[in-house]
Amino acid sequence: MNKKTSNSLTKIFLDTFTITEETTHWAFGPLNIWGKKVGDELWIASNTAQEGEAKTLMPPEDIAWSRWIFKQKEITIQFAPVLPDRPIVVKPEFPFNIAQGGKAKIYVHVPAWISIQQAKKSSKPMLEIPTQTLSKTWFGTTVEGEKCFWLSSPAKNKLDKKQIMPFELICPLVIINSFEGELNVAKLALRGSRLSIFSYEDQLWTDELRIMYRGTGEVSRITVSGKAPSEIAGAPMITAARDASSKGLAAKTFGSLKELSGFLVHS
């Protein structure tokens, strides 16, 4: 059994791994991943340890394996952190109002998914596995909405790194209210397809996202910075955005942003 656990997840994300007949184990917080080569096939299995459950280096006998056949004899893979593949709904620690012309900065920390793909290949990932299983929920009305994940950890206006695990992504969000009235922020839905991921001191961050609210029925502007946020200026990018086609978004209403990437303010 090969154990590839590291005190720094960043080192795992920057490395590549040649798969052999001997089972190899990787740990990403509560997520266990195993890989081995069987003939010309790559076998991958995973499970998530429950709170208080002891970690095991060997996969359970009844675990399900995913299998791929490759034409090359040497199989090399690499891992990368990614955001979940659907929006994530989160509430602020305390609902708040933003007065006209005011702005607020909050932080959301999201359990990363782990992408597995062939090393040095531009093909799509073979697997994306969540480090933590999130509950499913619905965001919107009975007429219009979408399936999302629910994040139990609240968004906060102050960052406490001691409460954030290495496998979690810190997502900074700035909300600017240019509307004539107040903006009540009671629930957020995060879309991560245009957010990149950066690494700094063994912690994972996304780029900063700014949203300018101009009132219901008016055009609101969402901007993704495309670079490391000011808290970690100059930090290297380790995962590019899923959709890097544009860093600026505009829409007539917040509701119409359900089809776009960014944060939604649900009021």
Q: Where are the domains of the chain?
A: 2-81, 83-111+132-265
Average pLDDT, the chain: 83
**What letter would DSSP give residue 155?**
B
Lowest mean pLDDT among 6-10, 14-18, 130-134, 254-258: 254-258
φ and ψ of 20, to 5 deg: -120, -175
Residue-wise pLDDT tens digits, 7-21: 578 889 989 999 999
pTM score: 0.85
Helices of type H across the chain: 9-14
Amino acid 252: pLDDT: 29
Nearest-angstrom CA–CA distance, 33 and 251: 41
